[in-house]
């Protein structure tokens, strides 16, 4: 970091392993980076967190993200927290993963009836915000970002099925019996969905009308969010029949 003007932390995990735990990756590590940034006189530390982070959440992932945000500000007030909704792009771990699963399963369970809402944001729009933020002389400390469109999990899965030219039975199930469906998957080295992610699905991942003018958005930098309809089909075509 020595000699750097800006430091951007993009480190994060979706699943815990024996070696990598949410608390260290999302809370302790950002705290260390924020502290070192201050010691090295870095002009600005930018930390990418997650929309929906909440210290009261039953999801360890969302709780660790919220703890990380508090830790960053406790060590370096000259920091920015960016909280995106679901981020999509060519190598994303969401649309690609579900398209891969839907390539071979005839029936797909929609946990929580597939009602959880998301506001997908294109990775390049996130990058634009970071670049423009760096040169902004009137920076805000927190940005919550998402696209212009809100989709339920069911609508996203239907979009993937249609885009990849598949015919699949989508089975809506309540959260109460979701463990019956995902428990067998936990023996996999990299489960497609974990118990903690089920907890995350109990909360919508969308932007609410902002009443706090201290919280920024893509609109602060006149960024028009890209739609999944114009981007995602370009990289999911490899999963088509």
The tens-digit pLDDT sequence of the chain (241 residues) is: 999 999 999 999 998 888 999 999 999 999 999 999 999 999 999 999 999 999 999 999 999 999 999 999 999 999 999 999 999 999 999 999 999 999 999 999 999 999 999 999 999 999 999 999 999 998 999 999 999 999 999 999 999 999 999 999 999 999 999 988 888 877 777 777 899 999 999 999 999 866 667 899 999 999 999 999 999 999 999 998 7
Q: CA–CA separation, 228 vs 121, rounded Å? A: 8
51 burial class (0-12, 13-18, 19+ CB within 10 angstroms)?
Answer: buried
Q: Name the token pair of 225.
A: 């969010």
Q: CA–CA separation, 226 vs 124, rounded Å? A: 9
Q: CA–CA separation, 70 vs 81, rounded Å? A: 10
């Amino acid at each position: 970091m020595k000699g750097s003007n800006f430091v951007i932390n993009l480190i994060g995990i979706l699943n815990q392993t024996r070696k990598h735990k949410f608390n260290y990756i999302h809370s302790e590590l950002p705290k260390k980076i924020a502290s070192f940034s201050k010691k090295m006189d870095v002009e600005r530390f930018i930390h990418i967190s997650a929309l929906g982070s909440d210290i009261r959440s039953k999801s360890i992932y969302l709780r660790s993200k919220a703890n990380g945000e508090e830790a960053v500000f406790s060590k370096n007030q000259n920091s920015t927290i960016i909280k995106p909704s679901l981020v999509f792009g060519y190598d994303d771990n969401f649309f690609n993963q579900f398209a891969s699963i839907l390539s071979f399963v005839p029936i797909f369970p929609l946990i929580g009836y597939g009602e959880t809402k998301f506001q997908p944001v294109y990775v390049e729009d996130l990058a634009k915000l970071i670049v423009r933020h760096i040169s902004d002389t009137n920076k805000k400390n927190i940005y919550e970002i998402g696209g212009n469109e809100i989709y339920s999990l069911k609508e996203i899965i239907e979009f993937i099925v249609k885009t990849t030219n598949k015919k699949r039975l989508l089975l809506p199930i309540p959260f109460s019996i979701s463990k019956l469906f995902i428990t067998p998957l936990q023996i996999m080295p990299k489960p497609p969905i974990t118990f903690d992610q089920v907890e995350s699905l109990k909360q919508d991942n969308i932007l609410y009308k902002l009443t706090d003018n201290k919280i920024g958005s893509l609109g602060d930098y006149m960024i028009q969010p890209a739609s999944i309809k114009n981007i995602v089909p370009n990289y999911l075509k490899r999963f088509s029949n």
